[in-house]
Amino acid sequence: MPQTVYIDYQKNGVAANAYSVKLGSEDGTYGIKVLGTSTVVVANNTSVSNPSVGRYEYTFTPSSGLTYLVSWKVVPESGDDAQYVTQEIGPFFTVEETIRAVADYRGTFIQGSTTTLFLKITSMEGLPQDADNIAIAIYDPDEALIESGTPDKVADGYYAYDWAVAAAADVGGYLVKWTYIINGTSNEELQQVVVADEGAESDFYKGRTLEFRNALESYIFCAQAIPIYFEQAKPAEDGRTFYFTFPRWNQTAGVNIYRNKNLITSSAEVNYFKGYVRFDSLQSSYDMINADYNFKWFSDLDLDTFLSNAVQTLNQFPPHSGYTLISLPDRYIPAVLYKAATDAIRKLMLCLQFQEPQQVFGGPDKAQNAFSNFETLKKNYEDEWKLLFEQKKYGPYVGLTHTIVVPEYTLPGGRSRWFRYLFKGS
């Protein structure tokens, strides 16, 4: 489907024609190119149309799913130096396109650290889609391939990949390319990241950490699956992107997007991580965008913090210990989950003191009623974890024997001594 790119030129705040406007880059290599691969689709110094004063346009046919970099070469007056303006556009999709993907990450892209990259794949109806032959490739600032692999499947349509950024990695912009096949059709998604100096290694989405997070969500399930109906969006300046109140949308619950109360079934991308919708084309200022969605109150970072704090609290109970989520004995798991759930409820109760979260519960009065109910639940969880934490001091002390020796004397000056031995064992 053809797409028109344009630029509006003004002089002193008023639309005016420049001496010359073309598609061209400062390095003289392209007019429009594919972002990431540097494939030139429109040559340098390509002429453009001038349909009205100050308006310059060029129409081309983009490939489905790709993002492009457009460079405009503007000469304001005869003899002036050229000025260059770049725009990032896309990705664009055909009307028939029914599969959408959005990428995100967790952590920081710092030398020597491990960051988790995400991809969520859905249909236009918001249903998660499993991919065949999904792979990931990472390119350095010089566009050289530095790492490739197969991401882990976290849930239906949800994939994660741990990238261990090398301690000697070049600082700068990197390109992450996801490739996958659905229903026999190849697709790709590009993700741009920036690596900075120094770091410390971490791991978020494998093994026991993931199991603990899933277990905690079962304790606070309803807070992780909150439905929102027909919320009106807040438009961004680009005329294509529309933001909603809450991020962290659940894929499995699906999503409905409405334009002027009509259900949208194509030509839009839903970002489940950030909570916004981006249309393939500009929307008019008269269009009203609404959505039904389902979101998580707590982020994965919130849950990990609650769990980590619970383990460290357990470590303070006698006998003192140095457990982590990875080394925690199974017998302490219920206690840690109760403590983490208590912290989660406490944070939710704090949020209910503010206007925007109150609206989820039907306004200030109903939010206050919910606060009271949460207070009772929180106290029940507190009583449970405190009781379990107190049991820690009773053992088991397998393999430990303690000897306490208490000297006893006769009358002052006496020479005989008696010793009392107290043995304590398992």
Q: Is 255 helix (H, G, I), strand (E, B) or coil?
A: coil
- Bridge partners of 116, per DSSP, are 106, 162
pLDDT digits (tens, 9 = 90+) for 135-159: 999 988 877 889 999 999 988 899 9
3-state helix, strand, coil in the chain (%, to 5): 20, 40, 40
pLDDT surpassing 90 at residue 251:
no
Given a contact cutoff of 8 angstroms between Cβ atoms, the answer to whether 69 and 33 are in contact is: yes
Per-residue pLDDT, averaged over 272-283, amounts to 87
Amino acid identity, position 373: N
Q: What is the pLDDT of residue 135?
A: 94
pLDDT digits (tens, 9 = 90+) for 58-111: 999 887 667 888 999 999 999 899 999 888 887 765 444 567 777 877 776 778
Yes or no: is domain 99-203 CATH 3.40.50.720? no
266-275, 322-331, 337-346, range with greatest mean pLDDT: 337-346
Q: Where are the domains of the chain?
A: 3-89, 99-203, 221-295, 300-394
Average pLDDT over the chain reads 84
Per-residue pLDDT, averaged over 175-182, amounts to 88
**Phi and psi of 47, rounded to 5°?**
-70, 150
How large a percentage of the chain has pLDDT more than 90? 33
pLDDT digits (tens, 9 = 90+) for 394-407: 876 554 555 555 66
CA 44 – CA 19 distance, rounded (Å): 18
pLDDT digits (tens, 9 = 90+) for 306-339: 999 999 999 999 888 889 988 999 999 999 999 9
Q: What is the pLDDT of residue 285?
A: 81
CA 84 – CA 21 distance, rounded (Å): 10
pLDDT digits (tens, 9 = 90+) for 199-246: 554 566 667 888 898 899 989 988 998 999 999 999 988 888 999 999
CA 294 – CA 252 distance, rounded (Å): 9
List, in sequence order, every beta strand (DSSP E) within 272-401: 276-279, 289-295
Tokens 């659905």: give the residue: 182
Tokens 């460079």: give the residue: 71
pLDDT digits (tens, 9 = 90+) for 8-49: 888 887 889 999 999 999 999 999 998 777 789 999 999 999
